[in-house]
Amino acid sequence: MTRRSPFVFSPDPFLLCLIAVVTGASLFPARGMVATTIGGAADIAIALLFFLHGAKLSRAAILAGAGNWRLHLLVLASTYIFFPAVGLALATVLRGSEDAVLLAGLLYLTLLPSTVQSSIAFTAMAGGNVAAAVCSASLSNLIGIILTPLLVGLVMAVNADGSGSSSWHSIQAIALQLLVPFLAGHLLRPWIGGFIDRNKGLLMPVDRGSILLVVYSAFSAAVINGIWSQVNAGDLLVLLLLSLLILLIIMGVNWGMARLVGLSRADAIVLMFCGSKKSLVSGVPMASALFPAAQVGLLILPLMIFHQLQLFLCAALAARFARQAPVRPRLPRSEQEIAAAAAVLGLTIPDACMPGVTINLALLDRHAAILSGEARP
């Protein structure tokens, strides 16, 4: 017997907002002082976003799943080894046949950390190990603030003019804009964590608003530099197909690794979702710090496409996992149910023992419900 949780497609409102912002930047690009003001507002919003993410991060939730070190190493390997390997292979094969900046953007997205909120949400939806997902996704994001710029400098050869190696100035800028606010928020959690937990809705507008500001700023600069004379519908279709190819390869590798090392179903789900996602929240501000402003719009275009594709596929996959998850059988509770179940097994329960059996079965059923997440302790 399996759960029924059909997948129903509905447009992502954030995707519609991204399309609207890109369209607005294409028709009315920010210039001069307006562009400077929007860029400054985006920097402040991104810093606030990472501050709130740090304050939201519960050390108790991380510690609850921290002991599963083998799973966390597999997630990190998927994020920072398997993904970059696939990106490098595609960039090498396609070099010269596609726009160099778009290929660089495709490679860049493979170097980014995993998402946090959606990875945890899909893991919970699919019946996976939520505590381990919180730990893996948070660890990936925190490490990525430092590791992603280093990987960019190692494999992409980027500097101020787009032709050298990543400078320490860019890494320091990312640390100041992302890591410092994140750590500050987390250190202040004992004092502000309660307020943040009670008002989780605050994170959504800051999260999405900051990304939309950065996207508008980046695409404004890109439009002024002629992005739409370089990119056409064919290029967008190629990016979509390449993003799908990358995602399917990584998902296949992760599922194979889960079976190879013998992960439980709950942990395999964590590897599937935490190890196959890339963070738009981290990727967009990092790109604005690492790359020349004129190139950022083109460079984040593959990431924007991949972001929506991963949400769509992971939602469908999580619904499939949920349908396949076995439903925990309910233990007999009443004396009549217990007597009937005993009769099937050829057992006879003396009348004097029936009250104790009833109480014990009710207690066992309660513990099973708590362990399966169906009830609270």
The 3-class secondary structure across 286-334, one letter per residue, is HHHHHCCHHHHHHHHHHHHHHHHHHHHHHHHHHHHHHHHCECCCCCCCC
Q: What is the pLDDT of residues 104-152, one digit of tens each?
A: 999 999 999 998 878 888 888 888 888 788 888 888 888 888 899 889 8
320 pLDDT band (50/70/90 cuts)? Answer: confident
* Tokens linked to 104: 């660089």
List helix spans (H) across 110-158. 117-126, 130-155
253 pLDDT band (50/70/90 cuts)? Answer: very high
pLDDT surpasses 90 at 357: no
Mean pLDDT of 79-92: 94
Share above pLDDT 70 across residues of the chain, in percent, rounded to a whole number:
80
pLDDT surpasses 80 at 262: yes
Q: Which residue has the higher pLDDT, 233 or 360?
A: 233
Write down the residue that tokens 């607005």 correspond to. 24
pLDDT surpasses 90 at 89: yes
Mean pLDDT of 313-325: 83
- Work out the mean pLDDT of the chain and round it to a whole number: 81
CA distances for 213 relative to 58, 297, 307, angstroms: 28, 12, 17
pLDDT computed for residue 331 by the predictor: 62
Are the beta carbons of 162 and 295 closer than 8 angstroms? yes
Q: Which residue has the higher pLDDT, 331 or 52?
A: 52
* Tokens linked to 154: 């190692």
pLDDT computed for residue 87 by the predictor: 94
CA distances for 33 relative to 57, 217, 285, 293, 294, angstroms: 36, 12, 20, 15, 17
Query: Which pairs with CB-CB distance under 8 Å and at least 24 residues apart come from 311-316?
Result: 311/12, 311/118, 312/9, 312/12, 313/247, 313/251, 314/118, 314/122, 314/273, 314/276, 314/277, 315/7, 315/122, 316/7
Lowest mean pLDDT among 61-70, 189-198, 227-236: 61-70
Q: Which residue has the higher pLDDT, 251 or 200?
A: 251
Q: Which residue has the higher pLDDT, 356 or 38?
A: 38
Mean pLDDT of 190-204: 78
pLDDT surpasses 50 at 1: no
CA distances for 147 relative to 81, 142, 174, 183, 337, angstroms: 12, 9, 11, 16, 58
Assign domain 13-324 one CATH number from 3.40.50.150, 1.20.1260.10, 3.40.50.12280, 1.20.1530.20: 1.20.1530.20
10 pLDDT band (50/70/90 cuts)? Answer: low
Q: Which residue has the higher pLDDT, 64 or 242?
A: 242
Share above pLDDT 90 across residues of the chain, in percent, rounded to a whole number:
24
pLDDT surpasses 70 at 332: no
Helix axes 180-187, 32-56, angle to 10 degrees: 40
Mean pLDDT of 256-273: 93
Write down the residue that tokens 């519609």 correspond to. 16
Other residues' Cβ atoms within 10 Å of the Cβ of residue 176: 13
